[in-house]
Structure 1
């Protein structure tokens, strides 16, 4: 049974440092799997951050110091052109009076932080599911902005940032969907991702990011694992990305499910996957209510509720069907 943790630390400090030193051996193996020379140098990484995300360079430097000041750790924490990685995922905006962002995160359980992290770095409160120990795969901030990602279903790998640090940057620096869309449109990504945002004023958008073409900003309320068209056919078939997209669109338009039924649908096929033997399955379902500052992490039979105002640290053993 996977062990999940919820940790809160206003400023980078001993809690984060302890997490880094616990997770770093595994992340270092992953980061070096193609060899040290395959990854950008420290200078290249720093220049990229300074050019595209200057607001969080002081934060990155502080984290690098807590990580021990090593060259490889600093390069890893920049998330500049990391090794390629694939995931599944479904996400959608339920557009009620209090709109809700719901997502399933499909990935390998042995390559995942299993961590809900609340921070108040640089004066901005952010809570979300951690990746790379300061990046995020989904989250929200105290301005009422929520964000989530899915893999975009393309094989092309280029020069750019890993998407978890892009999500962190957006939540650290943006307050509205419009601001987030502008940031996502200009930030370079090393792989293709669909990033959906929802703000306090019920505005939402989905940015289709890619390393080899301009970002397409849409008003889509649903994103799975392809962009405008299916380009990687075998991956699309394996992940049922088109079928999941159609299912969600039907629930939002033809049937217009109430919120609770819509959320529960993410814990059942075709959205919920147990295909861990083939690479990845659904590790959790996240529910964000950014106007209320509330989030839930869900598994079949279990709900872990958190909020920006009343975040509770703790540990949970959860059952993830199909995961070892």
Structure 2
């Protein structure tokens, strides 16, 4: 057995125009280029995703232009639309309850950026960033928090990666109801589950390229949606087991740091990379690893880094 480690970093990027975001993005660019689809590499594909972005996320177009100009790499604009990305499927668990959003993010360590970013593109947002400006989870200054899990179904269509959808909702919405309404007009490339929390409401929404946004039975999600889970799918992801466990535990950080919700990754599964506990009405989030919390907030964001034990591999 070999112990892996993962370094998480926290930094501020402001509105993306002062060079801080660009320095980080240029360093990652060699890893990012491979995420573009073949269509996204063509002039016609780049035009298509730019048009899609302008039509559905017009508020973020000035930010897209600013970031693409700062990055200054061929294909940067197409990649930053997140409408021409190869699909990814993290195995996560999350719950919204009583003004709290709690989630585990499970994925191979070397495929997660591990960057906690404080930004002010349109408004103050703090979240776990991925693919340069998308978000795996986050909160805004209005007291809204959002996180994602993979929906577990192998379909793909034209639309946005869920990372940029999470960013867009946090940049443009104040409440759960407003965010759910906006979701109804956004094309989504891959089945995903979003859990949304504000001071008075918590919901999980199933989205995908082949379905209208659908409110889940409760504000919990693992890696399935409305369809039955096959025995093979359950063996691979334990999605039903994890959903039962989080429903029973509620928004309990201690339960998230223990099996079956915390996954060690000591077999062929992805391990839990971090636990995030958002209190969006208070503007606070704490990231957890067993024995090692890291708190951040709008009133006290602290840049720095933490290297933690990730998963074990054979």
TM-score by length of 1: 0.90
Matched, 1:25 2:23: no
Measure how far apart 1:31 and its partner are. Answer: 2.6
8 A Cα contact 1:109 1:323, kept in partner: no
Q: Is the 8 A contact 2:40 2:46 kept in 1?
A: no
Write out per-residue CA displacement over residues 74-125 of structure 1, whole angstroms, 9 at most, x where no aligned residue.
1111100311211100000232xxx211000011111111100000112x10
- How many residue pairs get aligned? The number is 309
Cα shift readout 1:184-237 (whole Å, capped 9, x = no counterpart) = 22211110000010012x211111001012111246221110012235653332
2:13 maps to which of 9, 16, 41: 9
Higher strand share: 2
Aligned to 1:106: 106
TM-aligned CA deviation for residue 8 of structure 1: 0.9
Name the structure 1 match of 2:64.
60
Which residue pairs with 1:129 in the alignment? 128
The answer for the alignment partner of 1:256 in structure 2 is: none
Runs of 4+ in 1 over 4 A off after TM superposition: 34-40
Aligned residue runs from structure 1 range 172-251, under 5 A: 172-200=171-199, 202-218=200-216, 220-231=218-229, 233-251=231-249
Distance in 1 (CA, whole Å) between partners of 2:20 and 2:29 is: 14
Asked if the contact 1:84–1:191 (Cα under 8 Å) also holds between the matched residues in 2, the reply is yes
Distance 1:267 1:166 in 2: 27
- Aligned with residue 83 of structure 2, among 55, 80, 89: 80
Q: Secondary structure at the match of 1:150?
A: strand
Instruction: Give the SS at the match of 1:65.
Output: helix
Write the deviation string for residues 128-149 of structure 1: whole angstroms up to 9, x where unpaired. Answer: 0001111000000000000000
Work out the CA distance in 2 between the residues paired with 1:251 and 1:78. Answer: 37
Gaps of 5+ in 1: 253-258
Residue in 2 that maps onto 1:92: 95
Q: Secondary structure at the match of 2:281?
A: coil
Asked whether the equivalents of residues 10 and 121 of structure 1 are also in contact (C-alpha less than 8 Å), the reply is yes
Q: Which residue of 2 aligns with 1:119?
A: 119
CA deviation vs aligned residue, 1:247-275 (integer Å, no higher than 9, x gap): 122224xxxxxx6xx11111111011122
> What is the DSSP-based 3-state SS (H/G/I as helix, E as strand, rest coil) of the residue aligned with 2:85?
coil
Cα RMSD after superposing both structures: 1.9
Where do 1:148-163 residues align within 5 Å? 148-163=147-162
- TM-score of the two chains, using structure 2 as the length reference: 0.93
Counterparts of 1:36 and 1:137, CA distance in 2: 22
Quick check: 1:81–1:158 contact (8 Å CA) kept in 2?
no
* 1:278 and 2:268 matched: yes
Distance in 1, Cα, partners of 2:300 & 2:176: 25
Query: Contact between 1:185 and 1:216, CA under 8 Å: does it hold in 2?
Result: no
Alignment partner for residue 298 of structure 1, among 288, 297, 306?
288
Alignment partner of 1:316 is 2:306: yes
